[in-house]
Amino acid sequence: MNDRQLVIDVSGINKYFGDKHVVKDLSLQVKQGEIFGFLGPNGSGKTTSIRMLCGLLTPDSGQGSCLGLDVLRESAAIKRQVGYMTQKFSLWDDLTIRENLDFVARMFGMENRKEAVSEALEELGLTGRQEQLAGTLSGGWKQRLALASCLLHKPKLLLLDEPTAGVDPNARREFWEEIHHLSAAGITVLVSTHYMDEAERCHRLAYIAYGSLMASGTADEIVTNQHLVTWEIKGEEIQGLGHSLKDLPGVDLVASFGNTLHVSGKDGVILKNSLEQFVQIRSLKMKSVAPSLEDAFIYLMKSSPDQMRG
């Protein structure tokens, strides 16, 4: 990876909240214009990790840079170049779209705020609705407004914390088209998500479980590196057989996919022998399939016990 292209380059980053070690020796690199996705169980430290990378939280130890600034000593300067879109809509329902953006521009102390607001309205397709009260907007339009407010001060780095929660599929698709447009313009995007289809839209991914980075890379790399062998099982009353399959030798994971089950394991020989006997007795069908990103992440989740309880 070319160092001149790196927007984020950190190693050994740690964060404690009281006696909880919530981020453990995080090392990560993100290139300019990259859409980098973060996945992991709730409460596992992924949002804390992203906030430290963006200057919104100061690490307790470690080293590295973001936007050419030191993540431990210059977090305030980093934060000024970051746009942060929270999961919960945090603008003002009783103000119009334009009034909301103007208020945010005032908070940033922007001298050319009228022009900046008009430009943001145009770029996010909000001009025709600029006099509509924010509280009357659908989830998708609130999402556009929130993104517009994040982009007013022309950030170099965008942090999106589960940005499409609660919006319809069409709005999600349009939102991701806009994110890729921003990426192509050179803005680096860090995004946390629980949706596998959104994860696959990212250039690279990190899976964080209970404070530790368990896997990173492209979607294909993460799937390949789990070394899973996966079989698709189908037949009558298949959904009631999941618990029986989990007890078979060689089975590490059973996951439902519509009217089929995906059964995965590390030892392909033992897995195949177990499944062949199982399906023969029950008149089911099995076929080999490529493990999906969802298979890989379910496996990672199952193999990373919560060490932060206690």
Separation between Cα atoms, residue 133 and residue 149, nearest integer Å: 15
CA distance linking residue 17 with residue 59, whole number of Å: 11
Alpha-carbon gap, residue 191 to 30, rounded angstroms:
12
Structural domain includes residue 256: yes
- Read off the CATH number of the domain in which 265 is found: 3.30.70.100
Rounded to an integer, what distance in angstroms lies between the CA atom of residue 297 and that of residue 223? 8
CA distance 275 to 259: 17
Question: Is 277 among the domain residues?
Answer: yes
Residues 6 or more apart from 286 whose CB is under 8 A from it?
231, 232, 233, 234, 275, 276, 279
Average pLDDT, the chain: 90
The residues, ordered by sequence, that sit 6+ positions from 182 with a Cβ below 8 Å of its Cβ are: 151, 158, 189
The pLDDT value given to residue 306: 55
Mean of pLDDT values over 105-127:
91
Helix axes 139-151, 113-123, angle to 10 degrees: 140
Show the tokens assigned to 23. 């981020």
CA distances from 167 to 101, 142, 175 (A): 21, 9, 10
Q: Which amino acid is at 149?
A: S
How many Cβ atoms from other residues are within 10 Å of residue 224's Cβ? 14
Per-residue pLDDT averaged across 6-31, rounded? Answer: 94
Is the residue at 275 inside a domain? Answer: yes
Q: pLDDT tens, 269-304?
A: 999 999 999 999 999 999 999 999 999 988 988 877
Asked if residue 4 has pLDDT above 60, the reply is no
For 208-219, letters b (16+ CB in 10 Å) and e give bbbbbbbbbeeb
Cβ-based neighbours of 111, under 8 Å, separated by 6 or more: none
CB 299, CB 264: distance < 8 Å: yes
Would you say residue 66 lies in a domain?
A: no
Q: Which amino acid is at 174?
A: E
CB 141 within 8 A of CB 148: no
Q: What whole-number distance in Å separates Cα of residue 206 and Cα of residue 5?
A: 19
Q: Hey, is 38 helix, strand or coil?
A: strand
Query: Is the residue at 174 inside a domain?
Result: no
**Residue 40 — pLDDT band, cuts 50, 70, 90?**
confident
Nearest-angstrom CA–CA distance, 284 and 275: 10
Residue 107 inside a domain? The answer is: no
Is residue 88 a part of any domain in this protein?
A: no
| Strand-strand pairing, 260-265 and 157-161 | unpaired
Note the pTM of the prediction, 2 decimals.
Answer: 0.88
Q: Is residue 119 part of a domain?
A: no
Q: What is the pLDDT of residues 249-260, one digit of tens each?
A: 999 999 888 889
Q: How does 91-122 read in b/e, with b if 16+ C-beta sit within 10 Å?
A: beeeebbbbbbbebbeeeebeebeebbeebbe
Query: If pLDDT is split at 50, 70 and 90, which confidence band does 305 have?
Result: low
Residues spanned by the domain of 246: 227-290
Q: Is 305 exposed, middle or buried (0-12, 13-18, 19+ CB in 10 A)?
A: exposed
What's the total number of domains in the chain? 1
Q: How far apart are CA 71 and CA 20, in angstroms?
A: 21
Question: Residue 254: what pLDDT?
Answer: 93
